[in-house]
Chain A
């Protein structure tokens, strides 16, 4: 196994060295082939996502297939512009010199993808790597085995085997891959593994891109505006928590911050919306993914084991171990030092933390490490400015959830 892995990588290096991936026409042909792969296999993709995660076709299209199609199409339309050198101004001192900045492929790139969006998180970075002219080894997560198998079997049928390879396997394969020298490593996953990836990369001075996570809060300040806005807020919170893989998403809303006098209004709105979207109870649950495996299921159940946490449940809480389902659960003010409030939840449990004044949310967020996203539902421009300048996060989205990823350019 080890030697066939090294053989594959040697082939990728050879292909790159021979210039096999440099031409714009090659890159475009690969991107078009990827689009074809997605178009011609939509049903199989839906099936694999249903098998691994219980995702419905709408969720699968919205968060995976649709996102990828858009990304490929956008990349195809911009590729020539991106590849072209950019002129740089030259000061008079150097007249008559000319200068430019020229993008060049890095070489052989390793992509590790995660299990929760097994297509998007594997193929979106692949799109970037190919469009930049690199050869790629893709290592999908074995925690979404049907999706991983699909990628292993299908990619070689559409893409250039000498330049793009997919390797199946678990953590041990990942570890072996990390011993080798790459020109770049792109990793999506947990901070814990992110550290291991970067430490391994340090031995070869390999640059890394790490897409991690955190506790992404939603600040809610719009319930006292019109009822229709309040309803939209509730829909977007529910959609942003349980919509993406039942909360198992790096940019899912982790917890909510709201003023204590509005907490009960919010909870009522959320309950109504949850019932309308997903069903009345755990037996009639629909339109929602399941937990990926027993290990994650147990981890989430354990978060609720703390009696103080269990006491704070105001909606839901039921679990079905056989089907790996946990119903949408809302908690009101669980203890701030409990695990559910210190670890990234990555599941269908939504703590609501109440504050005397919504402006306190800024200090609350700053007391924790930087999240990937901050969602803020507010129409107060001053508050918006304060959030932007006084907090730090990967992204800030005002008055919505999730869309910044799904529809981002």
Chain B
């Protein structure tokens, strides 16, 4: 134990250098390029998960009080799928892609070859500490790289477990886990990597990118933002509410980069709330025919109803909600909630339990635009509802802020859907649901603007950790003298038509050239 502590205490610049040197030697020796090696590592990762699911669930419970279902499905099962997909498709992904060639280089052939970048650094986050650590690693392995994984110290149980399991199951001459906090991360960032992938917040992302700039290291930054949900009228309100709840409180209690952050919906009615009987929700047809005023009230009430169904009358005691990760974040969230002009806007929830780091699912109505809660990513169980005059106004509201990682819209109006897709710029958009695009490996998962750069999942992971090398094969035949000096007007004419690609032009020029 003492030597372990010692080891951790001295992970400095020299240790980081040594780690990179060792991995580089493994890479240069060709270990990670070999298809069989990549297959073995991915299979080992599957075995790691199969044989340790209870331990993983336990670590996530320690770090986040994450409900077992969320751990099993959103971390382990998703990761297994990612691994299986890579195993199935990797050979195909590794094949060179043929590229078209033009008349100007005839005769030649061309292809794009995927090659590993080399030694890559993956820095992951605390909220999905298992998934966000190993999912990028899957991509990096499939692409043939050597890897250092630096899990977040804010989820220490999972970080330790990862260090232990990766060392036991995977090839430690090519894949290493480095635990630690700011000093260790800084030491790692001083080194030259062939790619860095960082998942986290914008402040640290700037530090990561600045460090990468010194070595011209390309980066993928998976950040966040305020993911809005636009709720239109004329929809199945019950389904919409449930999907919003699942995406908000069902995803680590709102502590997820793609959790719905706030709702935008229409107002042309009073703010007074009227309690309506629950049975109204059963008949969706009735909902469509109700006045917009009642619909609006129904939305808030819809939340109240469904939240109570999901989490009971005492949500602070519900086992189906993660806790707030630590006291820093707890204090941060209370600051958002207890701001003067905000605390009076709570329409549901607001209860807190400091000793257990729990805040109940809380819905707020019409908080001021300049409040703290509307100006930073919430990343917690608080859901403000902002009202506007007409649905179209929501687009301007969203585009006036920074580009989020995701944006959601619930509507049956085709024109509105088109406008939403056209006008709103975000990493990913989902219509009539929330967060599920994460599970879609054929869609690139990543941000834009302040929500990040680069993307991964599925083949995008393989591509992100590969260099796409352009290769042109030329033959010695057909060596056109017009490329070389001495430069004559005839050659200029012929060159013009050759680059223009027109056969007639070439013939004309050739005839002209032969006259010259």
Contacts from A to B (Cβ < 8 Å): 17, 22, 56-59, 61-62, 66-67, 69-70, 73, 88-91, 93-94, 97, 99, 101-102, 104, 106-107, 183, 191, 194-195, 198-199, 201-203, 205, 207, 210, 212, 222, 228-229, 232-233, 235-236, 238-239, 243, 276-278, 286-288, 366, 388-390, 392-400, 403-404, 406-409
CB neighbours of A396 from chain B (8 A): 113, 469-472
Complex Cα gap A67–B212 (Å): 33
- 18 further A-B contacts with Cβ under 8 Å, apart from A94-B440, A97-B433, are A59-B487, A66-B495, A88-B442, A99-B440, A107-B449, A198-B212, A199-B214, A205-B453, A222-B476, A239-B483, A278-B485, A288-B485, A388-B113, A388-B471, A389-B115, A392-B467, A392-B469, A393-B469
**Shortest Cβ distance from A400 into chain B, in angstroms?**
4
**Shortest Cβ distance from A220 into chain B, in angstroms?**
13
B448–A106 CB distance below 8 A: yes
CB neighbours of A106 from chain B (8 A): 448-449
B449–A212 CB distance below 8 A: no
The residues in B between 163 and 222 inclusive whose CB is less than 8 angstroms from any CB of A are 202, 205-206, 209-210, 212-214, 216, 221
CB neighbours of B115 from chain A (8 A): 389, 392
**Shortest Cβ distance from B402 into chain A, in angstroms?**
10
B484–A406 CB distance below 8 A: no
Complex Cα gap A287–B212 (Å): 42
B491–A58 CB distance below 8 A: yes
B209–A201 CB distance below 8 A: yes
A202–B213 CB distance below 8 A: yes
B492–A57 CB distance below 8 A: yes
Contacts from B to A (Cβ < 8 Å): 28, 30, 33, 99-102, 104-105, 108, 110, 113, 115, 118, 202, 205-206, 209-210, 212-214, 216, 221, 223, 399, 421-422, 425, 433, 436-437, 439-440, 442-444, 448-450, 452-454, 467, 469-476, 479, 483-488, 491-492, 495-496, 499-501
B206–A397 CB distance below 8 A: no
Partner of B495, one of A17, A61, A239, A409: A61
Residue of A nearest to B113 (CB): A388
Partner of A239, one of B113, B399, B484, B491: B484
A101–B444 CB distance below 8 A: yes
**Shortest Cβ distance from A227 into chain B, in angstroms?**
12
Residue of B nearest to A207 (CB): B453
A389–B33 CB distance below 8 A: yes
Residue of A nearest to B81 (CB): A91
Residue of A nearest to B112 (CB): A395
**Shortest Cβ distance from B217 into chain A, in angstroms?**
9
Residue of A nearest to B206 (CB): A202
Residue of B nearest to A57 (CB): B492
CB neighbours of A229 from chain B (8 A): 476
Complex Cα gap A398–B444 (Å): 33
Partner of A205, one of B102, B202, B484: B202
B440–A61 CB distance below 8 A: no
Partner of B421, one of A102, A366, A388: A102
Given contacts A66-B499, A399-B473, A409-B99, contact A202 B105 (CB under 8 A): no
Identify 30 residue pairs between A and B in the complex whose beta-carbon atoms are under 8 Å apart, listed by A's number: A57-B492, A58-B492, A62-B483, A70-B500, A73-B500, A99-B440, A104-B448, A106-B448, A191-B216, A194-B216, A195-B216, A199-B213, A199-B214, A201-B213, A232-B476, A238-B484, A239-B484, A243-B484, A243-B485, A277-B486, A286-B485, A286-B486, A287-B486, A397-B472, A400-B472, A403-B104, A403-B472, A407-B102, A407-B105, A409-B101
CB neighbours of B118 from chain A (8 A): 392
CB neighbours of B467 from chain A (8 A): 392
**Shortest Cβ distance from A176 into chain B, in angstroms?**
19
**Shortest Cβ distance from B462 into chain A, in angstroms?**
16
**Shortest Cβ distance from B474 into chain A, in angstroms?**
4
B105–A205 CB distance below 8 A: no
Partner of B102, one of A22, A66, A277, A409: A409
CB neighbours of A408 from chain B (8 A): 470, 472
**Shortest Cβ distance from A60 into chain B, in angstroms?**
10
Partner of B471, one of A390, A395, A407: A395
Complex Cα gap A88–B448 (Å): 20
Residue of B nearest to A104 (CB): B425
Residue of B nearest to A396 (CB): B471
